[in-house]
Amino acid sequence: MTDLLLLASSISMAASSATSAAVSASATSVPGTGTLESIVTSVVPSIIASVLPSGATTTAPVTAQPIFLPVYFEVAATFAGALSGAMVAVSRRFDLTGLVILALVNGLGGGIMRDVLLQNHGIFALNNPRALVAVLAASVVGAYFFSAAEKIRPLLGAVDALSLGLFALVGADKALVAGLSPLAAIMLGTITAIGGGIIRDLLCGREPAVLRRGSLFAVAAVVGSSIFVTMIEWLHFAKPVAMVVSATVAIALRLGSLWLGWESPEPRDLTHHVTGVPLRLWEVGGRVVRRTFRSRDRGPR
């Protein structure tokens, strides 16, 4: 118990000293001292850096350490996505050409869309032959061994959730490295994760799965990208730390929708709730004013 009290006391003293140091530093170097912007950009990151272990935060620029996923994971995730597209083609009774096209867009479509939007940064799918080889291998398995592929569908779902979380972060990181704004980085991270599935469903002439309630596919990508960008841009976490935290949240959301039935909320009309309170206050105020004037009119004569 004594050790815990000493640890808590040291953390509190470190946080208070970091706060005072950050406030004094911002008073001399940051314009607009005392504003919300100065607190968010200087005071809060300093407090976090003082409490967390060394190495969890960094002052290095975003472009100093781009994220690169392991080669084996890139191949496995691309294969899983392409095989999922191939299985959709089999269920729709497409021919071999249609099967390869769906496998290609489902496995690599999101990354291609991201790289095209970034411009002048190269197309990953075209610069890395292993990605195309993974798509061709998935096409062969889907075309000639689809009954065996059906048995490993739960495993494909787990790999798909993992790739969703990590590819969203890679897309957001590429946008930050390219110098785009945080909102643009979140958008490109989401496109990287869900773009292939949207193209696949459009080619099949059906409503995209990411737009239907219950998948939490786009929600997981948006939340994961948002957490990653926030931790990198404003809280100055090291990229490996931000990657682990944001990917864990995104993967948990996706797996929760698959295994626990989590669903995204539907639109709700809040007009009555928002306008009802002012209208009720207006009515109450009107009644009070009318009663006041009536009481004055009925006063002693």
With respect to residue 29, please indicate whether it lies within any of the assigned structural domains: no
pLDDT at 24: 46
| Axis-axis angle for helices 153-177, 217-233 (nearest 10) | 40
From CA 232, how far away is CA 236, in angstroms rounded? 5
Instruction: Please tell me which residue, 8 or 255, carries the higher pLDDT value.
Output: 255
Nearest by Cα to 206 from 88, 43, 49: 88
The single-letter DSSP state of residue 42 is I
Q: Cβ contacts of residue 162 below 8 Å, gap of 6+?
A: 77, 251
With respect to residue 65, please indicate whether it lies within any of the assigned structural domains: no
pLDDT per position as a tens digit, 156-195? 888 888 888 889 999 999 999 988 999 999 999 999 999 9
Per the prediction, the chain carries an average pLDDT of 79
With respect to residue 164, please indicate whether it lies within any of the assigned structural domains: yes
pLDDT-derived band at 30 (thresholds 50, 70, 90) equals very low
With respect to residue 19, please indicate whether it lies within any of the assigned structural domains: no
pLDDT at 234: 85
What's the average model confidence in pLDDT over 201-214?
Answer: 85
Count CB atoms within 10 A of the CB of residue 41: 16
With respect to residue 118, please indicate whether it lies within any of the assigned structural domains: yes
pLDDT per position as a tens digit, 233-245? 888 888 888 999 9
What's the average model confidence in pLDDT over 128-157?
Answer: 89
Number of domains in the chain: 1
pLDDT per position as a tens digit, 245-276? 999 999 999 888 888 888 887 888 877 777 77
Query: E strands, 89-247, where?
Result: none
Q: What are phi and psi of 58, to 5 degrees?
A: -155, 155
Token pair for 208 = 């995209």
pLDDT per position as a tens digit, 61-73? 666 677 778 888 8
With respect to residue 202, please indicate whether it lies within any of the assigned structural domains: yes
From CA 56, how far away is CA 48, in angstroms rounded? 9
Q: Cβ contacts of residue 89 below 8 Å, gap of 6+?
A: 98, 99, 101, 102, 103, 142
With respect to residue 17, please indicate whether it lies within any of the assigned structural domains: no
With respect to residue 153, please indicate whether it lies within any of the assigned structural domains: yes
Asked if residue 281 has pLDDT above 90, the reply is: no
Instruction: Please tell me which residue, 40 or 287, carries the higher pLDDT value.
Output: 287
pLDDT at 46: 54
pLDDT at 7: 40
pLDDT at 128: 85
pLDDT per position as a tens digit, 97-120? 999 999 999 999 999 999 999 987
Q: What are phi and psi of 52, to 5 degrees?
A: -75, 160
Domain that holds residue 184: 71-259
Instruction: Give the distance from CA 211 to its chain's centroid.
Output: 16
From CA 119, how far away is CA 115, in angstroms rounded? 6
Asked if residue 216 has pLDDT above 90, the reply is: no
What is the percentage of the chain residues whose pLDDT exceeds 70?
76
pLDDT-derived band at 15 (thresholds 50, 70, 90) equals very low
